[in-house]
């Protein structure tokens, strides 16, 4: 008798084991997302969109209708679907390059318009699918294929602060947070709140998840975990950056451990 590992109900068992590298954070983000979908009971209504980059490998991940789009363009595709079918729960899943570089205009404008979609972005500090180039989220001094001597902030600036940017430009009824695959319970909680915001038709919701890429970081298990838990949060603060006004009024305890400056 084969032992089937415990998987979220929303996952599609036929396509497991999944296609991500060993130690990759995507599987964990998608596990938290699967559980969030299960707990909210919305699987039947979910339309999932994935980007280019490693996120595209999730195109057959869920037992949910899925569209794999172009680099950075998942946000407008999901926006188009949501506008035409407001009863669907539209989730755009992408990496840091897709959300903060090539598709930044889409993220910014979807947030500004307060589109009732959920954007989930995996931040692993590099372009992984293309072989580990500098991303908008690459840390200062961090070595990548296009910054072989380390990222020089004088030349290429500082890492993008995504949830903070979204919080600054989106509507009062939007949700923006940063979680990490190092704390799946918290990440699932953020994802649930994000989806809840869409379910209740309040507004835009955005969750960045700090994620791991041992393949391109060239790290062993211990160093991977250290980078994820110790190094990344120095630049990327974990917590909720914006909670919808209605929710904030109801409870102050939901405020994250870091607030917008």
Partner 1 sequence: MSMPAVELEAKTQRKQAKPIEGVKKVFMTGNESVAWAALAAGAEIMYGYPITPQNEIMHYWTRLAPRYGKQFLQTEDEISAGFTTCGGVLAGKRAFTATAGPGNILMQESMSMAEMLRLPTVVIVQQRGGPSTATVIYSQQETTLTCFGGNGEGLRIVYSSSSHQDLFDYTIKAFNTAWKYRFPTFVLGDGYQAKMRESLHIYDPAAKGIKMEKTVPFVGQEGMPGVDRAPAHLRNTFNTEEELLEVITGYVAEYQKIAPEIIEYEVIETADAEIVLVAHGIVARAAWAAVRALRNKGVRAGFFRPITLRPFPAEQLRKAARTAKKLLVAESAQGQLLKLVQEALYGETVPIATYLMPGQGITAEELSDYVMELRSNKTNREGGSR
What does the binding site for partner 1 look like in residue numbers (CB under 8 A)?
A: 12, 43-45, 47, 52, 56, 59-60, 62-70, 73, 76-85, 88, 105-106, 108-109, 200-201
Q: How far is the CB of 77 from partner 1 (least distance, A)?
A: 4
Nearer to partner 1, 10 or 177 (CB): 10
Q: How far is the CB of 23 from partner 1 (least distance, A)?
A: 21
Q: How far is the CB of 176 from partner 1 (least distance, A)?
A: 19
Nearer to partner 1, 62 or 175 (CB): 62
Nearer to partner 1, 97 or 159 (CB): 97
Would strands 89-95 and 118-123 be described as parallel, antiparallel, or unpaired?
parallel
| Distance, CA of 79 to CA of 234 (rounded, Å) | 33
Nearer to partner 1, 69 or 147 (CB): 69
Q: How far is the CB of 66 from partner 1 (least distance, A)?
A: 5
Nearer to partner 1, 73 or 192 (CB): 73
Q: How far is the CB of 44 from partner 1 (least distance, A)?
A: 5
| Distance, CA of 255 to CA of 46 (rounded, Å) | 27
| Distance, CA of 177 to CA of 206 (rounded, Å) | 6
Phi, psi of 224 (to 5 degrees): -60, -50
Q: Is the CA virtual torsion 166, 26, 128, 226 positive or negative? A: positive
| Distance, CA of 190 to CA of 241 (rounded, Å) | 11
Give kind and range of the element (H or E) at residue 48.
strand 46-50
| Distance, CA of 133 to CA of 124 (rounded, Å) | 11
């Amino acid at each position: 008798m084969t032992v089937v590992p415990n998987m979220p109900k929303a996952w599609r068992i036929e396509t497991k084991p999944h296609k991500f590298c060993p130690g990759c954070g995507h599987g964990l983000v998608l596990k938290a997302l699967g559980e969030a979908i299960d707990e909210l009971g919305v699987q039947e209504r979910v339309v999932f969109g994935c980007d280019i980059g490693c996120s595209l490998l999730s195109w057959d991940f869920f037992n949910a209708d899925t569209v794999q789009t172009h680099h950075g363009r998942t946000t407008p595709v999901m926006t188009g679907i949501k506008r035409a079918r407001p009863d669907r729960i539209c989730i755009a899943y992408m990496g840091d390059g897709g959300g903060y570089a090539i598709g930044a205009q889409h993220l910014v404008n979807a947030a500004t318009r307060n589109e009732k979609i959920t954007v989930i972005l995996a931040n692993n500090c590099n372009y992984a699918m293309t072989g580990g180039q500098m991303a908008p989220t690459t840390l200062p001094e961090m070595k990548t294929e296009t910054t072989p001597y380390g990222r020089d902030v004088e030349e290429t600036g500082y890492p993008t602060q995504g949830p903070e940017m979204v919080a600054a430009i989106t509507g009062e009824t939007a949700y923006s947070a940063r979680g990490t695959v190092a704390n799946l319970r918290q990440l699932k909680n953020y994802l649930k709140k994000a989806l809840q915001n869409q379910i209740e038709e309040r507004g835009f919701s955005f969750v960045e998840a700090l994620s791991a890429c041992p393949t391109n970081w060239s790290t062993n298990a211990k160093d991977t975990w250290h980078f994820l838990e110790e190094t990344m949060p120095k630049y990327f603060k974990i917590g909720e950056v914006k909670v919808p006004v209605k929710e904030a009024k109801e409870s102050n305890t939901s405020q994250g451990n870091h607030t917008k400056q």
